[in-house]
Amino acid sequence: MKFLRLVLFATHAAASPLPSSVGSAGEIDSRVSQLLEGLSREAKIGQLQQLPGHLPAAEIESAVRAGRVGSLINVTDPARLRELQRIAVEESPGGIPLIIGRDVIHGFRTIAPIPLGLAATWNPELVEANCAAAAAETRSVGIHWTFAPMIDIARDPRWGRVAESPGEDPFLARRLCAAMVRGFQGDDLAAPDRIAACAKHFAAYGAALGGRDYNTTWVPDQQLWEVYLPPFKTAVDHGVATFMTAFNDLNGVPCSGSAFLLDEVLRKRWDFSGFVVSDWASVTQMVPHGIAADDREAGLLAIRAGVDMEMATPSMAEHFASFIDAGKVPPERLDELVGNILRVKLALGLFERPGPPETAVYPPEMAPESLRLAEQAAAESLVLLKNDGGVLPLPAGSKVAVIGPLADAPADQLGTWSFDGIAEDVVTPRAALEADGAAGSLASARFVPGLAYSRDKSRDGFAAALEAADEADVVLFFGGEEAILSGEAHSRARLHLPGAQEELLAALHATGKPVVLVVLAGRPLVLEPVLPLVDAVLYAWHPGTMGGPAIAKVLRGELDPSGRLPITFPRAEGQIPIYHGHRNTGRPFNPDSWSHIDDIPVGAEQTSLGNESHYLDLGHEPQFWFGEGLSYTRFRHGEPELSTTELRGGGTLEVTTTFTNTGERSGHVVAQLYFRDPAASITRPVSELAGFRKILLGPGESRQVRFELAAEDFAFPGPDGEARLEAGTIEIMVGTSARDHRSATLRIEP
């Protein structure tokens, strides 16, 4: 698949229309105009308001009946939704159906891995299928709209919402964004198994200072166009129905009041045709931000900037009429905002089918195919980071000790943002491994938690855990962090294994038995202190409903670990931010000349001669690189071969490389294409991901992998967002991670 970087920048080409069988874009616009003509000003203003479902039922019904609400969030009971839609259509002044929203982030009832785990699959088709399964479950109960995908680039694992993100890389984020939008929306928003997607959080929310949620972001224009905006442009190009503003202020302007983001970029440059919803109370939060004196002024800023619907708070709806009467907002502005909302409601087919069918039930049944997809996603998200001595896969007939606070923690296995997941549905690693023991795949699987939960500091369970370890051939330790430790407003300054997990691992290591660490977490954790204590590390993220069987199959070798890291793992918090696409310095790090802090003689002369960019105590290298992940087999890749060594504007380049499985087992390799522009008018990253292919190779099998790039793929934005394709030399790199690759040289002539 060819992705052209050129379209990501300041293009003014028309965006994809909303996909719908209800009518063409022109027909829907005509219906919007007809509806607007028949609505009073008060009925129009009501469409701008989204109310939360936790309000008293009578209050919600009264607001719907009076036409003071256009959307509800967090109402899931189908019978109640049918009644509310009946009131909206039959009793409200405008007769406009409601759009019902819910945070369906990585599943509805059937929960897939957290989005960061889905990113680790490097399998957009699988991600799309899981989102389609979630959409079918969601729409079946009468909910039409999810607040996903979250496509904030996240390069600080202290930030709790890194769990919801696609990771650190804009290219990978774009591919996953396209897959998620397609999965949720399909080719027809009006279909009974599709829902409207919402690209969030617009924009640069992942750049919050210090990884502290809701915090200020200072992002130069160059970085904004290059890193944080491209995934959102991809969402528009794929017809995403809605956008959500971010909580943060961007360079001093809260995103819910940013005319630059919402009007100049989203509407004028990108020609977005859906509607924009604020995040929860983010409009009124412009008051504590310090840009609005009160809620009224905040509402005015949001209206002028381009917020179409306000979530939870009423500052826009309460004051809109007075703004028009005072001449602060032209009357046609109201029609613009309401028209954007009506366009999405029409595309969803809400006027033809506003409520769920009489047979709808909450929670919906889980389809076998949905469970299969969730298990496949969990399996493909697992990243093998260490495997000394080939301790994995487990030999047949192994006696295993299943230890750790997350071996049998179903609610935590679901991860953050899994409101409709049910703990009783979850198959945990303990359950799956005990079933393997009963079936004879393992000789036995004895479970002893050792710690009651991830933050438990008590040593009371150590003795029983050590006894189980002494009786086993292999210790499987399931550690990490509870689901509550990641997600919104759950940032962490220290990323080590919490509680007494490190102490318990040290005690297990002292038994002399092989120890396999399986990490369930919502973010990259600092593993350096425990790596010497374990023989293998399998990173499982929070893997969702079917995580247990997926983990068990990979541990036993029934499946090959095929996940790869979508984000760089630091060796210590002090390295953050650390990511593959960084700029070089004038004195880049050279490991051959680095002196560790312990190697510096006492009384050494202070000098800057020969110094380079690094930490005295950690150097420059991360713990694990972006794109890394081991397999149960071995791979070799050749030099990249280029179809031409000189590429002109408008031309295409084919890059081919042969990958060979040199081991004795089948396994997946993720072939990754990067490039570097070493001399440009604006300094460029040391590596930029430009393509990837996930392929399965049998023992001894070789396969040639092809990537096709356009000359414009090597363009980059300037601070104004306009694309630049410059003459010069490009280094093409193909391999298996941001560290492991081979290169060839290309000359660009625009």
> What's the 3-state SS for 157-221?
CCCHHHHHCCCCCHHHHHHHHHHHHHHHHCCCCCCCCCCECEEEEECCHHHCHHHCCCCCECCCH
Q: Is residue 220 part of a domain?
A: yes
Q: What is the CATH number of the domain that holds 665?
A: 2.60.40.10
What's the pLDDT tens digit per position in 522-569?
999 999 999 999 999 999 999 999 999 999 999 999 999 999 999 999
Least confident of 532-541, 583-592, 630-639, 741-750: 583-592
Residue 629 in domain: no
Report yes or no on 214 lying in a domain.
yes
Question: Is it the case that residue 9 has pLDDT exceeding 70?
Answer: no
- Over residues 310-340, the pLDDT tens digits come to 999 999 999 999 999 999 999 999 999 999 9
Residue 488 domain-assigned (yes or no):
yes
Percent of the chain with pLDDT over 90: 93
- pLDDT band at 223; cut points 50, 70, 90: very high
| HEC sequence for 537-558 | EEECCCCCCCHHHHHHHHHHCC
Q: Please tell me the predicted confidence (pLDDT) of residue 589.
A: 82
pLDDT average, residue stretch 426-431 = 98
Residue 366 lies in a domain: no
The CATH number of the domain holding residue 496 is 3.40.50.1700
pLDDT of residue 225: 98
Can you give the pLDDT at residue 590? 82
pLDDT tens by residue, 281-300: 999 999 999 999 999 999 99
Domain boundary among 347, 366, 392: 347
* Cis peptide bond prior to 170, omega within 30° of 0: no
**60 found inside a domain:** no
Per-residue pLDDT, averaged over 451-456, amounts to 98
Give the closest residue to 364 by CA, choosing from 97, 133, 189, 35.
133
The residue type at 532 = P
Q: 626 vs 188, 319, 383, 623, CA distance in Å?
A: 35, 48, 12, 10
Residues 159 and 270 occupy one common structural domain: yes
CA proximity to 744, closest of 627, 634, 637? 637
Share of the chain above pLDDT 70, in %: 98
Mean pLDDT of 586-612: 83
Amino acid found at 656: T
Give 14's pLDDT tier (boundaries 50, 70, 90): low
pLDDT of 736: 97
488 and 615 together in one domain: no
Q: Is residue 440 located within the same domain as residue 303?
A: no
The pairing of beta strand 728-735 with beta strand 741-749? antiparallel
CA gap 203, 276 in Å, rounded? 12
What pLDDT, on the 0 to 100 scale, is given for residue 141?
A: 98
Query: Quick one: DSSP state of residue 719?
Result: T
Residue 611: predicted pLDDT: 81
Shared domain check, 405 and 336 = no
Q: How large is the average pLDDT for residues 13-41?
A: 90
Band of pLDDT at residue 12, cut at 50, 70 and 90: very low
Both tokens of 620, joined, read 């420059």
CA angle, residues 631, 635, 637, in degrees to nearest 5: 140
Least confident window among 185-194, 597-606, 677-686: 597-606
> Are residues 149 and 197 part of one domain?
yes
- Domain assignment present for 392: yes
Question: Helix count (H) and strand count (E) of the chain?
Answer: 20, 27
pLDDT at 2: 33
216, 294: one domain = yes
Q: Do residues 234 and 168 both lie within one domain?
A: yes
Q: Do both 639 and 615 map to the same domain?
A: no
Assess whether 606 and 665 both reside in one domain. no
Angle between helices 331-347 and 315-325 (to 10 degrees): 140
Same domain as 640, residue 591:
no
Residue 630 lies in a domain: no
Residues 6+ apart with CB under 8 A from 556: 393, 394, 436, 441, 442
> Cα separation of 49 and 221, whole Å?
32
Catalytic annotation, pick one of 103, 156, 279, 677: 279
Q: Write the CATH number for 189.
A: 3.20.20.300
Domain count, the chain: 4
Averaged over 580-594, what is the pLDDT?
87
Q: Is the peptide bond before 106 cis (omega within 30 degrees of 0)?
A: no
Q: Please report the pLDDT score of residue 6 as a whole number.
A: 37
Checking 360-365 for CB contacts under 8 A at 24+ apart, the result is: 360/78, 360/140, 360/141, 360/142, 361/78, 361/141, 362/76, 362/77, 362/78, 362/141, 363/108, 363/109, 363/141, 363/420, 363/422, 364/108, 364/109, 364/137, 364/140, 364/141
Residue 8 pLDDT exceeds 70: no
Q: Based on the fold, state whether residues 386 and 528 are members of the same structural domain.
A: yes
In the chain, the amino acid numbered 192 is P
Q: Looking at 326, 347, 368, which one is the last position of a domain?
A: 347
Q: Are residues 480 and 613 in the same domain?
A: no
Q: Can you tell me the mean pLDDT for 138-146?
A: 98
Is 279 one of the annotated active-site residues of the chain?
A: yes
Quick one: pLDDT band at residue 15, thresholds 50, 70, 90?
A: low
Write down the pLDDT at residue 604: 87
DSSP E strands, 330-412: 383-387, 399-403
Report the distance separating Cα 600 and Cα 602, nearest Å.
Answer: 6
Domain end, chosen from 518, 541, 556, is at 556
Q: How far apart are CA 550 and CA 380, in angstroms?
A: 8
State the CB neighbour count (10 A cutoff) for residue 740.
Answer: 14
Rg of the chain in Å (alpha carbons): 27
* Mean predicted confidence (pLDDT) in 61-86: 98
Average pLDDT of the chain is 96
- Cα(737)–Cα(670) distance, integer angstroms: 8
Supply the range of the domain harboring residue 432: 382-556
Mean pLDDT within 680-690: 97
CA–CA dist 333, 44 (Å, integer): 11
